[in-house]
Chain A
Amino acid sequence: MRSINQSDFTGGLVLTLLGAATTGYAWIELPIGTVRQMGPGFFPAAIGLLLFFIGVFIALGALKSSDRLPTFELRSALAVIAGLAGFALTIDRFGLVPAIFVLTLLSSFASQKLNWRVSLLISVILCVLAWAIFLQGFNMPIRLWRWPF
């Protein structure tokens, strides 16, 4: 196989698709209008087209040099995303304290140096901090506990 700059090629390709999708969406869903009387779709379509071409140029430029695709820290990414999503799913239904526990326990999977005992301790400390700063300090209207059933 020919050697290419894999990160630039991937990046360029993604940007090309994004540009095409933007222009396509604007073209189909929004009135374009004329240069004199521009519709809401004119500017997005133009920007999308520009991005499309820049993406193509980046991908073409990648053919001339070589570089491997970088490694992604999948475990970290998954654990952090799971923690955030867990927080988003629990805060409205169960309140702040359970949400912080879910966030901390799930996101602690990202690190190999955090065991569940330390994570529980961090959760407790964070709950106290959140209560002091956000509820007492800034009077944010968030419930500590909720029982939805």
Chain B
Amino acid sequence: MTWLNGALLGGFALVAIPILIHFAMRKQPKRILFPALRFVQARHLTNRRQLRVRRWLLLALRCLAIATVVALLARPSVAAPLLGDWMLIATFAGLGLLGTLLLLAALAARRGAVLWLPLALAVVTLLGTAGWLLASVLSYGSEYQVGDARAPVSAVVVIDNSARSEYLVANQTVLGRAKAAAKRLIRALPTDSQVAVLSLDRGTVFWSAGKRAAVRAVDRVPVVRQPAALLDVLLQAERLAKEGRHPRHEIYVFTDLTRPGWPEEKHPITEHRRQDASSSLFIIDVGVPQPTNGTLDDLRLAAAAIAGAGSTELHVTYSSTQPRTRTMELYLEKSDPSLPFVRDGRRVQPPRVLKDKVQLTASPDQPARHTFYLGNLPPGTHHGEVRFVEGDPLAVDDVRFFTIVVRPPWRMLVVGGPGTAVPAWTEAVAPRELRARGESPFHVQRITPSELATADLTRTDLVCLLDPPPLPDDIWQRLEDWLKRGKGLCVALGPNAGTPEQWQSDSAKTVLGCVPTVVFRATDAFVSPSGYEHPLLRAFRPFADTVPWTEFPVRRHWSVDTVDESCSTVVRYSNGEPALLEHPVGRGRVLIMTTPLTEIDRPRGRVSWNDLAGPNDWPRFILVNEMAAYAAGAHAERYNYFTGERVVLPNMAGEHPSSYQLAKPTGPLQLVRAGEGKLRIPWTDTPGHYRLKGVGDTTVLRGFSANLAANQSDLTRVSPERLDALLGKNRYQLARTLDELQRQQGTQRSGREFYPYLVIGLVALLLAEQALANRFYGRSTDQPSDAPSKPSTAQPPVAASA
């Protein structure tokens, strides 16, 4: 608690005046003759007790009234968050005092213990509670600094400069409004105040050299596409404010109060504010209460890397805050090895070609979806974009960039065991029609197990062992070396596997990560994926619940024991046994199916292990293709990122150049070098295409795209309840205008004054005093006025007549 006019506190000594009057200057009673004293004597004792109580009561009220007047003039104030606590203390103390008076009255009237004992207990409880509350408030309330409103402060200004701050309102961006308000605020801070400006661009945190420097720092705040979390920056601001050289710390957050900045998840700031709210926190809302915006959500490519024929699908979603029809255009860049280059200080980009155009209508509860088909793409890296023709207040989410890489078909070496229906595999991954048209994603070469020892693996991307017999160690050793270079191996175990002992070699274990133990004779078993989260099963996701695995029973399969911790089960059978396992070997990967995938005909002399390859075997068809693509590394390639993500591209020595010229969407060209087989690019803060031109004898063009995550442009306003939950109710001030902010500043700096409450209290005390005084000593209206006493003793009346 702070007293704005502390010097007047000496006035509390005036409380002694009524006490002195009461004791020292007690008025002598007026003496009168009164013959009917006998009637007075009968009630005198009771009257004397009542009189004493009344005197004490009035004395107490008068002392309290004087103390209240002094307090009123001294103007006590407390930190706003503590006002409730102080009011609670005042309530308990007031009730305690009232109880004390009643207790005194009861004791004076010699009432029984039935009355005064509970009263005494209540008084002790009330005053004890008030004392305990007072002690606790004084202990933790000392953190709050209130007092002179013009004393210098240590102020940290946080500006929410996320991509959403580009929202245009009245020809000014939200960031522009925030900057203008922040500058006015900084200029209005008390002289000698210390100021720091923080934003979401992950810059260094330091105190500005002065208010002017702080204003310049505000001017320099840019829009960031991949901002730091606002709450993280706020936490940073809290810590910085604590280091301020002035005792009063203030934090000002200029934000549009949109949901991405104030997420639903728990954040350490909540606990921090709960434990230490000594810094005054002001949230200044510079956003728009009801924003209008159409958003092009994150693009979804069926495959970013296409092998063979260049065709894929591009799924787009358009959502809008209000019903609106907009035109969406799909552009693809023309591949030009010579571009981009800088001419006359300006970058010359490859030309883009309009490939498709569509009109979509979306409403708040009904987003619009559309799929673009991209076909006949020549091998190479293709950049494209989808954008709205019509604009809206927030432009940053009106365009999405994408990159597709079309590469030559993967070279697959298929090794079939004796009696294996190899075409059941090859026709699934490379159908005859596609092969004829040259659009097959796989170039298939079929060999026997014995030929594997001499086959040229250097030109092979993928080896498939279909129901293989046990292989000699040298082949396993060869496969291991080959796999470590990032290649893929698919193994489908079957009846040709022989005995488990034949798979116990270290080389085989190193490659497979597991060993077959026994042929499991299953009844009513089938492939039963527990989920489709694994990338290999991504193609099943759209119809996950309708895949008829039960129609394809598995009667025999190998039971396996894993010998390497990195070997994991991807899919199990319905009996819980592993069906498909994955084992990474170096940069390569091995997939092991424990039952054949080529049991297309009824074999002679043995039971068919499963019905996976039969009529309507589309689940097997998808599974085989996905296995082949996954093993070949198609899923590992990624060319579309979010801004701020660290991009890592494989860059094999011998296959790729060791250095590249990087053309970012904006800014100068940069030289990047590969290392450890990878090309690392951390600078993806701008949405757009990132082009890599290999520096070497031959021109190698690579690239990728970066987009702002769709949720970063979510303009939904955060609810007050969420703000309260994050920052603590009544532990921050929310303002929409600077005037409002200034009022709250005044309240926070000077504290919440008790003035109005004291005035009310004083009026109540005076009224009570007046009422009691009238009640005790007032004149009845029906009685005559008090004339001066003129007692007369008996006088001889008059002379009698003669």
Bound pair (A, B): no
- Residues of B with Cβ closer than 8 Å to A? none
